[in-house]
Amino acid sequence: MASAVPVTELIVRKRDGGELRREEILDLIAAYLADEVDDAQMAALLMAGVIRGFTTDEAVALTEALVASGDTIDLSALAGPTVDKHSTGGVGDGTSLVVGPLLAAAGCQLAKLSGRGLGHTGGTLDKLDSIPGFRVDLTPEQLEAQVQTVGLAIAAATAELVPADKRLYALRDVTGTVASPALIASSVMSKKLAGGAAHVLLDVKVGDGAFLPDPASAVDLAQLCVSIGESHGRRTAALVTDMSQPLADGIGNALEVAVAVDTLQGRRGGRFRELCLELSAGALQLTGVQAAAARTQVEELLDAGAALDRFRAFVAAQGGDPTVADDPWQVLPAAPVIGDWTPGDGVVSAIACRRIGELAGRLGAGRRRQGDRIDPAVGLELLVRVGDRVDDGQPAARVHARTEDDLAMARAALAELVELGDAPVDPPPLVHDRVGLE
């Protein structure tokens, strides 16, 4: 290590509840990337930190070290306010496909580096891949040029961006050290800081379909992420939002693009549209727009079709077929087998959100391991939400499958994942908390 402090001493100090200094963390991460610290030592230190807890100062320093491990993107030459939006992941969460065009229409510059889905959560890049011709492999120069002209670009992060985070995450994944607020926050925020935006809005999910099951832990994570962003000179805020049930009707890649287009066309309401408006207004607040004015502005831009026009230009700029903005199902791949599921009569009292996402994955819409191939056409449409009454014979879900056997499998599974009762049920709130916003 570049530091005079041996890594074994750092492990022991953390094991005993002590705190690592900023310089020690910077040296540690640099030494780990240089293979001067091995995986066993780093795993031991991470486990000690998970058990004992990391301080906010340690999380801030770790974020700095991760950012310093690779390239960063400089957006300072862009004309408008630069904004980034990030979700911690969930089921049916394609809000970036609406929020990005909305913010671009509002005069913001959004350069978003996204990832692919793993497990029950879908990745933005996987959704965009379902649009014929769309490409996500933009160079930093191409990314900046497109944002300058369109106001929006969504691309894959390069291997040179925050490489230490990729290596640490792979180690955490196999050593049971993922579930640490400081490690999660530093991983999220390092990528946001490296992306170069001056304003960062986070959507921290809570509930059965999220990584965080209860609102208190989600608020804690949101506060930590906001503290890290502000410590590094970025205007940062977070919404803590519900993921106890799927957000949108569509769960699957082409299906989620179609939902986004329907929303941009003004043909869809409900919780998905409302959260897109909340996130867009929150991001505008970060740039200095008052809360009420921000909400009014994004509603007007959505209703007037300005965000749809920006989506069309965004798709065309990245090589996709822009007519997806006019008639998505003339462009998007469709599943060969489509069938409804009817549960009977009653009130929807609970939906197993995570397992719904996993069911879509079993149909082929997701991947269990990195490198698994995704079928963009398959997935589920969930036609009811908690609190809805379902009449006998009314479809509650629609399955988009590759085979009749897959359709039968999904129908049988849905009977265990959507619970009906007799008593009225109040739906959960969509937004649990706002951190860093009025």
Nearest to 138 by CA among 161, 169, 163: 161
Token pair 């491990």: residue: 69
Q: Which residue among 16, 32, 53 closes a domain?
A: 53
* Pair (293, 347) in one structural domain: no
* Pair (89, 225) in one structural domain: yes
Yes or no: say if 205 and 211 are a contact pair by the CB < 8 Å rule: yes
Assigned domain for 175 exists = yes
Select which of 13, 86, 199, 273 is catalytic: 86
Cα distance between residue 152 and residue 154, in whole Å = 7
In SS3 terms, 378-390 reads as: CEEEECCCCCCEE
* Pair (282, 405) in one structural domain: no
Structure confidence at residue 117 (pLDDT): 64
* 106 Cβ neighbours under 8 A, 6+ residues apart: 280, 284, 297, 298, 301
Assigned domain for 160 exists = yes
* Pair (343, 318) in one structural domain: no
Structure confidence at residue 2 (pLDDT): 47
- Interval 249-271 mean pLDDT: 95
Cα distance between residue 219 and residue 217, in whole Å = 5
Cα distance between residue 138 and residue 113, in whole Å = 10
* Pair (103, 231) in one structural domain: yes
Pairing of strands 82-87, 199-206: parallel
DSSP state of 123: P
Residue 273 is a catalytic residue: no
* Pair (352, 235) in one structural domain: no
Domain hosting 306: range is: 82-327
Cα distance between residue 235 and residue 404, in whole Å = 50
Select which of 191, 355, 432, 434 is catalytic: 191
Q: Which residue among 327, 362, 387 closes a domain?
A: 327
What's 397's domain CATH number? 3.90.1170.30
| CA angle (405 as vertex; 401, 408 as ends), nearest 5 | 80
What's the whole-model pTM score?
0.93
* Pair (310, 357) in one structural domain: no
201-238 pLDDT, tens per residue?
999 999 998 888 899 999 999 999 999 999 999 999 99
- Label residue 179 by pLDDT band (50, 70, 90): confident
210: its two tokens = 């999220």
Cα distance between residue 106 and residue 155, in whole Å = 21
Select which of 93, 165, 208, 242 is catalytic: 165
Structure confidence at residue 372 (pLDDT): 76
Structure confidence at residue 407 (pLDDT): 98
Residue 135 is a catalytic residue: no
H/E run at residue 407: helix 404-417
Assigned domain for 73 exists = no
292: its two tokens = 């009420």
Select which of 87, 96, 130, 187 is catalytic: 187
Pairing of strands 109-114, 82-87: parallel
What's 19's domain CATH number? 1.20.970.10
Sign, CA dihedral 309-315-321-324, equals negative
Assigned domain for 286 exists = yes
62-94 pLDDT, tens per residue?
999 999 999 999 998 898 899 999 998 889 999
Nearest to 90 by CA among 248, 233, 217, 205: 205
* Pair (104, 12) in one structural domain: no
Residue 112 is a catalytic residue: no
Cα distance between residue 433 and residue 318, in whole Å = 35
Cα distance between residue 216 and residue 340, in whole Å = 37
* Pair (346, 383) in one structural domain: yes
Cα distance between residue 375 and residue 366, in whole Å = 8
- In three-state secondary structure terms, 342 is coil
Cα distance between residue 104 and residue 47, in whole Å = 42
Residue 86 is a catalytic residue: yes
Structure confidence at residue 3 (pLDDT): 52
* Pair (252, 397) in one structural domain: no
Assigned domain for 116 exists = yes
Structure confidence at residue 425 (pLDDT): 95
Cβ of 244: how many Cβ atoms within 10 Å?
A: 21
Assigned domain for 215 exists = yes
What's 115's domain CATH number? 3.40.1030.10
H/E run at residue 271: helix 270-286
Half-sphere exposure (CA, 13 Å, Cβ side) for 43? 10
* Pair (108, 238) in one structural domain: yes
346-377 pLDDT, tens per residue?
999 999 999 999 999 999 998 776 667 889 99
* Averaged pLDDT of the chain: 93
Assigned domain for 377 exists = yes
Q: What percent of the chain has pLDDT over 90?
A: 85
Yes or no: say if 217 and 224 are a contact pair by the CB < 8 Å rule: no
Nearest to 335 by CA among 254, 221, 259: 254
Assigned domain for 263 exists = yes
Q: Which residue among 269, 302, 327 closes a domain?
A: 327
Distance in Å from the first CA to the final CA of the chain:
45
Select which of 112, 172, 268, 434 is catalytic: 172
Residue ranges of alpha helices (H) inside 306-389 are: 306-317, 353-360
173: its two tokens = 């994944």
* Pair (180, 123) in one structural domain: yes
pLDDT at 174 over 90: no
Give the chain's length.
438
Residue 199 is a catalytic residue: no
| Number of domains within the chain | 3
- DSSP codes of every residue in 208-227: TTSS--SHHHHHHHHHHHHH
Half-sphere exposure (CA, 13 Å, Cβ side) for 260? 32
